[in-house]
Structure 1
Amino acid sequence: MAKYLISFPSAAMKVPDSEMETVGRDAHAVIQETKEAGVYVFAGGIDETAAPVLVSANGVVAEGGYPWAPPLNGGFTVLELPSREEAIAWAARLAKACRCEQELRVFWFDPES
């Protein structure tokens, strides 16, 4: 089975503050369903209050991430599923719950990891 990343950037969530509690409840319900289905690996969001650091091969630490890359933020769910079709179905359920489109990617399998 492959592991799939279902994610969205923070800017994709254009939900009124008055609906955020409902969105959170709906998203948590879908995550609970993934756990009950035995496909859950992990889920969460990037803590945008904690600034990233860039660590070089020699251990030098620089504040901020890659200067040329867009910021990495938003929410992430990793599921282990038997097919891309099932991953798309779960992504659709998360999109409905979160009220925003979800990006779906498959992790490349590395037998050494």
Structure 2
Amino acid sequence: MTQYLISFEDGAMDITEEELPQVADDAHAVVQEAKDAGVLVFTGGLDYRQKHALVDTDGLITDGPYPESKELIGGLFVVDVPTFDDALKWAAKVAVACRCAQDVREFFPFRRTDI
């Protein structure tokens, strides 16, 4: 099978404090469904209010926050499914639960066997 990253940008979840408990319940239900289906690899959200940094190719470390023009991942959901269409079906479930659009990308195949 193939692994796919389903993600959304930081700030894409435009919800109120009142909506948050229902959104959390709905998101956890999708996670549980993916676990039960045996397709979940990893999921999580990122909080850029916490400590974070950018490490450049020359080793230079820059503490966040990042420039406004940089797109940041707000949440991610990795599934291992047979086809891109299957990944899109999971992305649709995540989009409904999280109340925001999802980006779907295929991971490069991992071929090293010595790790």
User: Across the two proteins, how many residue pairs are aligned to each other?
Assistant: 113
Q: Alpha carbons of 1:71 and 1:65: their partners in 2 closer, same or farther (altered >3 Å)?
A: farther
Please show how residues 19-98 of structure 1 align to structure 2 within 5 Å: 19-56=19-56, 59-64=59-64, 70-98=70-98
Q: In structure 1, how many angstroms separate the alpha carbons of the residues matched to 2:68 and 2:13? A: 24
**Cα distance, 1:46 vs structure 2:** 1.0
**Cα distance, 1:49 vs structure 2:** 2.1
SS class of match (1:87)? helix
Q: TM-score, normalised by structure 1?
A: 0.86
Contact kept? 1:54, 1:65, Cα under 8 Å: no
Mean Cα deviation higher: 51-60 or 82-91: 51-60
SS class of match (2:30)? helix
SS class of match (1:28)? helix
Cα distance per residue 1:86-111 (max 9 Å; x no partner)? 10001001111111111111101130
Q: In structure 2, how many angstroms separate the alpha carbons of the residues matched to 1:109 and 1:17? A: 40
Q: In structure 2, how many angstroms separate the alpha carbons of the residues matched to 1:19 and 1:68? A: 27
Q: In structure 2, how many angstroms separate the alpha carbons of the residues matched to 1:23 and 1:45? A: 13
After TM superposition, which residue ranges in structure 1, 4 or more long, deviate above 6 angstroms? none
Cα distance per residue 1:12-50 (max 9 Å; x no partner)? 111122111000000000000000000010100112222
CA RMSD in angstroms comes to 2.2
Q: Which amino acid aligns with 1:108?
A: F
**Relative to total residues, which structure has the larger helix share, 1 or 2?**
1
Matched residue, 1:102: 102
Q: Which runs of 5 or more residues in structure 2 are unaligned?
A: none
